[in-house]
């Protein structure tokens, strides 16, 4: 791990223990870390950056920020069908991140490391002019050549999604002041879904050799599915009435059907959406039974131009203004 | 590569070409990248972060910032004896980085990619509240178990450094307004050394199986060597008169001997400093001849407490206030 003089103690105290003594991490005292892939496997690597004031707020719970940072990266590995094993951290501190903040942040990492079986391999700490900037590089592995692509969707495939959609986007609305007439428990459910993604790692791993194409819903269902449509050169047709909703989201949409745009366009759900051939349906039922994660068929892959459509109950194409999340 | 909607075009135009079509990078259109290590090799990974206003200035040449970012990371791989092959980039833009800035930045990466034989594998683009924050994760490989450690220095070893020391620190002084009575060519030499490190990759690779311990001089010679002293539990004794200086630095020190503190304490030289047993001296001479990089014995490894000392010509221990670079 690289570091600035004066932060050695902080790194030794807070971050070196997060290596769990893994060989090749050298207690974060080396210039770099080393690792060896399992025989017959390739390494999968991804990087996500979260910025204060953009992706989270300075007064958010530091442990929660740490866990979200790790989980959004693990979700990318899940989308590839990879098993995670480690990560590197870039922590560029703003003025608000004092020692107690860092302690809570490291505690959040420690908690999730145990949960997901990963260890810290290295990183860098520094300072910014303003605002915390966190970047995490996550590493996993997958049997050689078996990483789930975005380009494999074929006409005749079904489109399947895990869990429920739209919760995180509605949770963000609540954080921004909306109430939706929900009780406290339902509001908390939606806000939790925004704050603490559940990377679908076991599901992703089980989909290796089963799904034709896969990704995680991070920017919004329609925008994300467009990546599969484009990479696979297919049309994807979704059935609006099939989109799986939590009880809280169902209640919100019953009151205001327009909010369906949050379900198809809102990001941060971190569910997996994937396509499978009809022949894989029995296997899918087994996976659903074993994992306990609801899997819902929400549409079909068709021959045609690269496009994603959402049909209503009369099979009319719905129009949405918001197809994905943007900073601009 | 992850990205925000609205930056797809920028990524496709500027960054996707930097993958050189490498398999496993999926034109930056996937959630993650994949790679396979060469047989008998382990992967070496490192991460360094550079922040506007801390490590560089907003009006610095964008291509130069890109090249420095890549090179400081490659220097960490060199210190491990690794051959680099790829990298991931986190680009968190401030307000000053417009499209022409990004184009020049990408051009700088492209130039150095060719020079060092690496390709972009993935990354993330986002926005900060203020100031550009760049983080780069560099990947290389080294024969299994052969990475150069910091912990292998043994009493009887010589301490050797590549190139010259102190240039970058003196170059920074010039950028901050010092003149040192140097002519333009000498001033330019020192400033270039600050702006554009030369990662000693071929040297590092040749030191595998030869050096007992190695690192790159990034924070300052004494502070960095303390890492070897501590990890190896040895005393390191340096001979002040042996420290290799460029003609420009020699001229500066002749005028003001106090500036020796910049040579032993200043960072950013990115030379390799390593320890070798006496038996390796003939091999070292061969490496020097083949590489064309001057290698200078600057001291000895002794039994004793973990400590780094600098002796003057009368073998008295010199005292320096500045032992390494700090943000605080």
Asked whether residue A257 is domain-assigned, the answer is: yes
pLDDT confidence band for B328 (50 / 70 / 90): very low
Q: Are strands B119-127 and B133-143 parallel, antiparallel or unpaired?
A: unpaired
- Write out residues 230-259 of A within 8 Å (CB-CB) of B: 231
Please answer yes or no on whether B135 and A231 come within 8 Å at the CB atom: no
pLDDT at A6: 57
* A128 chain-B contacts, CB cut-off 8 A: 51, 53-54, 128, 130-131, 133
Question: Is A76 near chain B, with CB under 8 Å?
Answer: yes
Residue B234 domain boundaries: 158-311
Q: Which two tokens stand for residue B115?
A: 């020079």
Same structural domain, A184 and A70? no
Asked whether residue B2 is domain-assigned, the answer is: no
Report the C-alpha gap between A2 and A32 in whole angstroms: 8
Same structural domain, A196 and A120? no
Angle (CA) A46 A49 A53, round 5°: 160
Same structural domain, A139 and A262? no
Q: How confident is the model over B191-215, as a mean pLDDT?
A: 96
- Cβ count within 10 A of residue B223: 21
User: Cβ-count burial of B293 within 10 angstroms (0-12 exposed, 13-18 middle, 19+ buried)?
Assistant: middle
The chain-wide mean pLDDT, for chain B, equals: 93
Please answer yes or no on whether A90 and B90 come within 8 Å at the CB atom: yes
* Residues 6+ away with beta carbon under 8 Å from B13: none
C-alpha distance from A191 to closest chain B C-alpha (Å): 22
Question: Is A155 near chain B, with CB under 8 Å?
Answer: no
Same structural domain, B63 and B183? no
Please answer yes or no on whether B123 and A55 come within 8 Å at the CB atom: no
Asked whether residue A322 is domain-assigned, the answer is: no
Contact A273, A236 (CB under 8 A): no
Please answer yes or no on whether A150 and B26 come within 8 Å at the CB atom: yes
Same structural domain, B213 and B268? yes
* A264 chain-B contacts, CB cut-off 8 A: none
pLDDT at B4: 47
- Digit-by-digit pLDDT tens for chain A (328 residues) are 554 445 778 888 999 999 999 999 988 888 899 999 999 999 999 999 999 998 888 889 999 999 999 999 999 999 999 999 999 999 999 988 988 999 999 999 999 999 999 999 999 999 998 899 999 999 999 999 999 999 999 999 999 999 999 999 999 999 999 999 999 999 999 999 999 999 999 999 999 999 999 999 998 999 999 999 999 999 999 999 999 999 999 999 999 999 999 899 988 999 999 999 999 999 999 999 999 999 999 999 999 999 999 999 899 999 886 554 433 3
Report the C-alpha gap between B10 and B23 in whole angstroms: 21
Output the 3-class SS for A115-153: HHCCEEEEEEEEECCECCEEEEEEEEEEECCCCCCCCCC
* A325 chain-B contacts, CB cut-off 8 A: 4-5
Binding site annotation covers B20?
A: no
Contact B36, B176 (CB under 8 A): no
Please answer yes or no on whether A34 and B80 come within 8 Å at the CB atom: yes
Same structural domain, A171 and A139? no
Q: What would the pLDDT profile of B29-82 be if each residue is shown by its tens digit?
A: 888 999 999 999 999 999 999 999 888 888 899 999 999 999 999 999 999 999
CA dihedral A105, A106, A110, A113 (to 10 degrees): 80
Report the C-alpha gap between A139 and A17 in whole angstroms: 19
**Domain finish residue from A110, A143, A176:** A143
User: What stretches of B193-315 adopt beta strand conformation (E)?
Assistant: 213-216, 235-239, 272-276, 295-302, 307-311
Asked whether residue B327 is domain-assigned, the answer is: no
Asked whether residue B150 is domain-assigned, the answer is: no
pLDDT at A209: 96
Question: Is A137 near chain B, with CB under 8 Å?
Answer: yes
Asked whether residue A320 is domain-assigned, the answer is: no
Binding site annotation covers B156?
A: no
Strand order in the sheet with A158-162: A213-216, A272-276, A158-162, A295-302, A235-239, A307-311
In this structure, what CATH number is given to the domain that contains residue B209?
3.90.650.10
In the three-class reduction of DSSP (H, G, I as helix; E, B as strand; rest coil), residue A263 is classed as helix
* Residues 6+ away with beta carbon under 8 Å from B99: B10
The fraction of chain A above a pLDDT of 70, given in percent, is: 96
Q: What would the pLDDT profile of B287-323 be if each residue is shown by its tens digit?
A: 999 999 999 999 999 999 999 999 998 999 998 865 5
Same structural domain, B300 and B174? yes
* A49 chain-B contacts, CB cut-off 8 A: 90, 92, 124, 126, 135
Rounded to whole angstroms, what are the CA distances from B304 to B221, B224, B236, B315? Answer: 20, 18, 9, 17
Domain count, chain B: 2
Q: What would the pLDDT profile of A214-263 be if each residue is shown by its tens digit?
A: 999 998 999 999 999 999 999 999 999 999 999 999 999 999 999 999 89
Place of tokens 């010259």: B164
Same structural domain, B181 and B238? yes
Question: Is B12 near chain A, with CB under 8 Å?
Answer: no
Same structural domain, A216 and A280? yes
C-alpha distance from B181 to closest chain A C-alpha (Å): 31
Please answer yes or no on whether B54 and A127 come within 8 Å at the CB atom: yes
Question: Is A310 near chain B, with CB under 8 Å?
Answer: no
Same structural domain, A186 and A287? yes
Measured between CB atoms, which of B5, B54, B129 is closest to A219? B5
In this structure, what CATH number is given to the domain that contains residue B125?
3.30.1330.10
Contact A168, A197 (CB under 8 A): yes
pLDDT at B10: 83
Q: Are strands A158-162 and A235-239 parallel, antiparallel or unpaired?
A: unpaired
How many helices (H) and strands (E) would you count in chain B?
10, 11
Residue of A nearest to B223 (CA): A5
- Write out residues 261-300 of B within 8 Å (CB-CB) of A: none
Please answer yes or no on whether B46 and A137 come within 8 Å at the CB atom: no
DSSP state of A210: T
pLDDT at B8: 74
pLDDT at B119: 97
Same structural domain, A163 and A293? yes
Binding site annotation covers B256?
A: no
pLDDT at B6: 57
Same structural domain, A138 and A24? yes
Report the C-alpha gap between A141 and A147 in whole angstroms: 9
- Cβ count within 10 A of residue A67: 23
Which region among A41-45, B11-15, B143-147 has the lowest average model confidence (pLDDT)?
B11-15
Q: Which two tokens stand for residue A249?
A: 């989201």
Asked whether residue A321 is domain-assigned, the answer is: no
Asked whether residue A115 is domain-assigned, the answer is: yes
- On the question of pLDDT at B107 being above 90, the answer is yes
């Amino acid at each position: 791990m690289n570091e600035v003089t004066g932060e050695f103690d902080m790194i030794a105290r807070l971050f070196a223990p997060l290596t769990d003594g893994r060989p090749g991490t050298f207690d974060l005292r080396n210039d770099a870390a080393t690792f060896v892939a399992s025989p017959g496997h390739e390494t999968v690597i991804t990087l996500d950056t979260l910025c204060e004031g953009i992706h989270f707020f300075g007064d958010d719970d530091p442990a929660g920020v740490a866990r979200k940072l790790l989980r959004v990266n693990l979700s990318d590995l899940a989308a590839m069908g990879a098993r995670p094993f480690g990560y590197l951290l870039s922590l560029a501190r703003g003025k608000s991140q004092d020692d107690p903040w860092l302690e809570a942040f490291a505690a959040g990492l420690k908690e999730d490391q145990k949960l997901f079986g990963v260890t810290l391999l290295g990183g860098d700490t520094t300072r910014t002019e303003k605002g915390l900037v966190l970047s995490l590089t996550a590493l996993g592995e997958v049997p050689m050549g078996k990483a789930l692509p975005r380009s494999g969707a074929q006409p005749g495939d079904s489109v399947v999604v895990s869990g429920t959609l739209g919760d995180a986007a509605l949770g963000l609305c609540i954080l921004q002041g909306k109430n939706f007439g929900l009780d406290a428990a339902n509001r908390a459910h939606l806000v939790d879904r925004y704050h603490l993604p559940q990377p679908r790692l076991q599901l992703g791993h089980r989909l290796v050799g089963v799904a034709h194409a896969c990704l995680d819903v991070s920017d919004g269902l329609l925008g994300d599915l467009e990546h599969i449509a484009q990479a696979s050169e297919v049309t994807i047709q979704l059935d609006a009435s099939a989109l799986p909703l939590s009880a809280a989201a169902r209640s919100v949409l019953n009151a205001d059907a327009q909010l369906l745009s949050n379900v198809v366009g809102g990001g941060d759900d971190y569910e997996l959406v994937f396509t499978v051939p009809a022949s894989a349906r029995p296997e899918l039922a087994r996976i659903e039974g074993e994992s306990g994660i609801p899997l819902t068929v929400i549409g079909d892959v068709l021959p045609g131009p690269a496009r994603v459509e959402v049909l209503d109950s009369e099979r009319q194409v719905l129009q949405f203004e918001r197809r994905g999340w943007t900073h601009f």
